[in-house]
Amino acid sequence: MGSFLCASGALWVESAALGQRTRSGSLQWSSEPWNVTRHHASTGARPETVAVICSAQPPDSTRLRHELDLEHERKLELELELEHERKLELELEQEEYAMAKAAPILALIAGGVALFGLLGANLDIVSPVTGLMTFVAGALLGGLLTILVSLVAIFLARGGRNPDGLRMALATLTVGLGLMLIVFAAGSPGRGLPAINDITTDLDNPPAFAPATVVPAYVGRNMEYPAEFVEQVRLAYSDLQPIRLSSAPRQSFEKALATAERLGWTISANSPQQLVFDAEHQTRLFHFVDDVTVRVVADGADSRVDVRSKSRDGRGDLGANAARIRRFSQALQ
């Protein structure tokens, strides 16, 4: 602590903590009180603030007490400020932890909803449309919400205050982005295509489906070809053309029927006399059922095969019906 020399008088020390006043020898003179901290190393007691005054007579206790009170108040204010700062830091850490913890929970919920939609439709627990909408809601909307919460958690954890929360938020952000990418990838085949669901290779005379008395699945549905689809199909699917086979119509019909069965289509109506058959095709993931009709006609000594594919659910098909016709054409030729 150093030494205090008082040339004219004694060194008086008053301790607020101990309620004691002590006197030292003749030391260097000072007209103002000194506030120092005296440590009791031998006793292990807490440090105490003391007032030191050089005077020939004992110092004024009232003034000394006032100085000690002011010092005590300053110490209390400092402690309160430190306590307030610690409280704010703790609240911020709790917010960081809450956001970092909420992000993976949201990711799990979003993934669970999307998985339920997929499995529910695949296991015929829910309809294909319900399954698809549930999947999109979980993966797209849930993924977006997960990304937003993860970004907030990353912002709060900036500066290295919460490294564990930051790692958790980054991992969850990756999951959210992955969920959204799945939806975008699934819908990418239909990007730029018209929202239609009935495609044919013969727009001037589309093949007709069998009557509802033959195929009960057609009951209550309009199986006529929509006139407003004609120009849209012509512009969007100009590559779809009648299939030409260098064989007699009967042979071509049998070949077309065998090709449909090989592709996994279920024959729902068959008219060998008219060289026409209808079939159903179920998608793998959501079990959407689409109806197909195939018609074979003579083309000189050869044959012409026309195909029409129509979705049972939804208005847009993301290009699925056109893709089905292309696969059938490639397999038949």
DSSP per-residue codes, 11-59 = EEEEETTTTEEEEEEE----SS-EEEEEEETTTTEEEEEEEEEEESS--
Structure tokens given for 163: 């490294």
d(CA 130, CA 326): 28
What are the tens digits of pLDDT across the range 104-163?
Answer: 888 888 889 989 999 999 888 999 989 989 998 888 888 888 888 888 877 777 666 667
35 vs 317, residue with greater confidence: 317
Using CA atoms, how far residue 216 sits from 131, 188, 194, 221, in Å, is: 24, 34, 29, 10
Phi, psi at 85, each rounded to 5°: -65, -45
User: Among candidates 273, 282, 270, which has minimal Cα distance to 313?
Assistant: 282
In the structure, what pLDDT confidence band is assigned to residue 185 with cuts at 50, 70 and 90? Answer: confident
Q: Give the helix, strand, coil percentages of the chain, each rounded to 5.
A: 50, 20, 30
